[in-house]
Chain A
Amino acid sequence: MFLRLLLSSIMRSRQKKLLVVLAATLAAIVAAAMMTISLDIRDKMSRELKSYGANIMVTAAVQPLAEEAGPETTVADRTELIDESQVPKLKTIFWRNNILDFAPFLNAAVTASSRSGKEARLEAVGTWFEHQLVIPTGETVRSGLAPLRPWWDMEGRWPADGERAVVVGRDAAERLALQPGDTVNLGFESGSVDLPVVGVAGTGDEDDGRIFLPLPVVQQGLAVPGKIGHLEVSALTTPENELARKAENNPDSLTPKEFELWYCTSYVSSVAYQLEEAIPGALARPVRRVSEAEGAVLQRVERLMWLLTLAALLSAGLSISSLMSVSILERRVEIGLAKAIGAESSAVLRQFLAEGAVLSTLGGLLGFALGSLLAREIGSRAFGTVISIEPVVLPFTLALSLAMVWLSSGSAMATIIRLHPKEAIFGR
């Protein structure tokens, strides 16, 4: 009986019911679109912020100097090195999918000379330019310097994987009068080697004065095969909070529950900690200039997005409520009549709420579909990448739609139900 009443009521005056569904759909579109974007925005902005460079530096753990060490020892001496074979392990940590880009480095002082007779003492940086690395699971991942230096202005090109060629920083190239296509002679302590220059990079920082070589060349030059000095890692991270800072100072000071929460959240300190676990003898430090800036931006953007979501929902909610109140008030006569022939107030209320539920569900489903599409469109325009559809948004959208419809019709209903049937039908 209830269902029959419900259905017939919905089918009557379909035009007006359609308006209600329309309003509910509208609100649902806004809710779904905003929520989908807000959920994904951290990820998207994070990737955008990757243009800042690596946010974690991995070096060999530093031990206190032996007390007999003489004054000739320089603090900056890199006597401890990391095994190159350990590098693939960084893709095995808990947060492996957040490790986006990485590259190993081994630095050496060299005497560089060019065909034109110019000579200079420079810092040579051995690294991978574009390297396909096989990790313990058998997969191949892309690594290398190129993605870690997106701001480099390259004249020429990057060396290919395995190519014995160099990239020269702009200032160094000027000092040695080098261009892409020239050959440069690099003198290590153990011997010298001639290599072609394929690129000259304008970097805007100290790298302008350096020369970049394939890692094996420097390893040979320093007679340390299979070793590297440090790793730069670029990871997607969550902005730091109180817990993260406490953990960064001393992970042992956390309670087991706190530790698990920290470990399972991609704070930069947590990712660094896990890198230290994976590579024995390593020290992983957050590159604070990058991680702090990333954190500040992400935090602000997230908060802003949620506030905008609230504003949009408020706006949508008011549209619905205005519509619902008007449409309920219109049905005064119907409600009065129902009460006059004996219906209880609660029964009438139930009927209308059920009607609202059906209409809002229809609107909610439609709105979710359209809202998710809208979010994808916005995503591609604002970020150039695809925002994924989040199924978790659907129940929230439906719930919101329902709440909006019920709340707004509820108050109008309450007014009318309190009226005497005679007043409802004939007016005051």
Chain B
Amino acid sequence: MLFKLTLGSVRRRRSRLFIALAAVTVGAATVAALSAIYLDLRAQMTRELRSYGANLIVVPAESGSSPAAISGQQLQVLRSLAPPGSLQGAVPYLHGLVDVSDGSRQARTPVTGTIFAEALKVNPYWKIAGRVPAAPGEVLVGTLVARRLALSPGNSLTLSPSSSAVVDQDASTAGGETPPPADRGTPLELQVSGVLSTGGAEDERVFLDLSQAQTLLGRPDQVSSVHLSILGQEPQLEEMAARIQNRLPQLVTRPVTRVSQSEGRVLMRLSLLFYLVVGIVLVTSALGVIITMLNMALERRKELGLKKALGAENRHLLAELLGEAGLIGLMGSLLGIAAGFFLARWIGWSVFDSSISPRPAIVPVTILVSLVMAGLAVLAPIRLAARIDPAVTLKEE
């Protein structure tokens, strides 16, 4: 009976119910879309923030006798210690001093051997005029060095091991002075493939392929430091540092506080903002549904009065109204989930240039929210219906 009544009522006022349904759908779609986005938002923003550079730096512990260095094998171990999917990049650096000469000018220059593919992963902000070295005979020259020596892409230069033992600029990071290596390489003829600008210390250095640098500086299989870019905030970084300490106690790991702290704060602000905005949208949708249903109930006073006059009790009317609300809520939520899915994908592409994956958790959440909205909305009409006096209602205009 209830079913027949509800169906009949729905058929009779299709257009009004359709509008109420639309309101619930929009609310549901917004909830579904925003929930999907939020779950991905943190992940997306964390990835954006990783463009800020390394958040973990590993150096060898200070030791008196042997030159402080990290070996190639230790580098591999470091890479394997990161949780799967979280390692954006691990770039090794070998620092030293060389004599640079381009034929007419010469000077002593800090030089760094690295693996360029990894360097670009960890430092996506590197701006290269020209191109990154593709073959071992090519170097990347910092912009200040390029100005000093009047170098541009295509020029040749010669790097020779520095004759005097001078304190390496990055001694403090590498942990103590590097004693003069026993076996220095021969001068290298190289070509400038690009000029690097970063606004930082890299602008004053020359970068070349790691193995070439190791040969040139007479430090085979050695690197001065490893910079890691790992997805995550302070807890994940501390965990990684602990793991490294466990496996490779001869290395010292430092989280780069400026990076992790800033990221944490930015993410917190974004989350707060997001919650507040979602709150606004939900409240608006809910109020919209409430207003619509209230309005509908107001105009149904006569119909409800008639039913009461024919013998319907309050609970029958209640059941009918609740049935309608339930139907709207359920249908609205299903439509909303579908619409929300497309909305989330659209937002994902416009804001983050990547797709947002659907998550099953959204379905129950959205249904719940829609039913609550519909339920809240129907409270006022129910109160109205209960208080209807058939005699009064049927008589008035």
Q: Would A382 and B272 count as touching, CB distance under 8 A?
A: yes
Of listed B51, B172, B203, B261, residue having the most chain A CB within 10 A: B172
Q: Would B199 and A288 count as touching, CB distance under 8 A?
A: yes
- Compute how far the CA of A115 lies from the CA of B352 in the bound complex, rounded to whole angstroms: 57
Of A69, A203, A322, the residue contacting B23 (CB under 8 A) is: A322
B296 / chain A contacts, CB cutoff of 8 Å? 326
* Majority-rule SS of B interface residues: helix
Q: Would A322 and B149 count as touching, CB distance under 8 A?
A: no
Q: How many Å from the CB of A35 to the closest CB on chain B?
A: 12
- Compute how far the CA of A69 lies from the CA of B109 in the bound complex, rounded to whole angstroms: 14
Q: How many Å from the CB of A285 to the closest CB on chain B?
A: 4
- Compute how far the CA of A202 lies from the CA of B16 in the bound complex, rounded to whole angstroms: 66
Show the binding face of B for A, using Cβ within 8 Å.
15-16, 19-20, 22-23, 26-27, 30, 33-34, 41, 44-45, 48-49, 51-53, 57, 99-101, 104-110, 123-127, 129, 143-145, 147-150, 163, 167, 169-170, 172-173, 197-200, 203-204, 254-258, 261-262, 265-266, 269-270, 272-273, 276-277, 280-281, 284-285, 287-289, 291-292, 294-296, 298-299, 343, 347, 350-352
Question: Which partner residue on chain A sits nearest B53 by CB separation?
Answer: A289
B143 / chain A contacts, CB cutoff of 8 Å? 285
Q: Would B169 and A76 count as touching, CB distance under 8 A?
A: yes
Q: Would A289 and B200 count as touching, CB distance under 8 A?
A: yes
Of A71, A153, A315, A321, the residue contacting B19 (CB under 8 A) is: A321
What is the interface residue range for chain A against chain B? 35 or more
Q: Would A308 and B277 count as touching, CB distance under 8 A?
A: yes
Q: Would B351 and A30 count as touching, CB distance under 8 A?
A: no
Count of A-B contacts with CB under 8 A? Answer: 253
Q: Which 4 A-B pairs have the closest CB atoms?
A: A319-B288, A209-B172, A204-B257, A287-B199
Mask for A103-125, Cβ within 8 A of B = 1, else 0?
Answer: 00000000000000000011100
Q: Would B100 and A53 count as touching, CB distance under 8 A?
A: no
Within 8 A of B (CB), among A267-301: 285-293, 296-297, 300-301
B123 / chain A contacts, CB cutoff of 8 Å? 289
B144 / chain A contacts, CB cutoff of 8 Å? 59, 62, 75
- Compute how far the CA of A300 lies from the CA of B158 in the bound complex, rounded to whole angstroms: 44
- Whether A325 is near chain B, meaning CB under 8 Å from some CB there, is yes
Known A26-B284, A287-B199: A323·B295 in contact at CB below 8 Å: yes
A23 / chain B contacts, CB cutoff of 8 Å? 288, 291
Of B16, B45, B101, B287, the residue contacting A297 (CB under 8 A) is: B45
- Compute how far the CA of A318 lies from the CA of B336 in the bound complex, rounded to whole angstroms: 14
Q: How many Å from the CB of A319 to the closest CB on chain B?
A: 2
Binds B, one of A44-52, A183-191, A341-349, A391-399: A44-52
Q: A49-B266, A75-B109, A382-B272 are in contact. List 20 more A-B contacts (CB 8 A).
A: A26-B287, A27-B284, A33-B280, A37-B277, A45-B269, A51-B258, A63-B148, A64-B147, A76-B169, A76-B204, A204-B254, A205-B254, A210-B172, A292-B125, A297-B266, A312-B30, A321-B19, A322-B22, A329-B15, A381-B276
Q: Would A300 and B48 count as touching, CB distance under 8 A?
A: yes
- Compute how far the CA of A417 lies from the CA of B4 in the bound complex, rounded to whole angstroms: 34
Q: How many Å from the CB of B339 to the closest CB on chain A?
A: 11
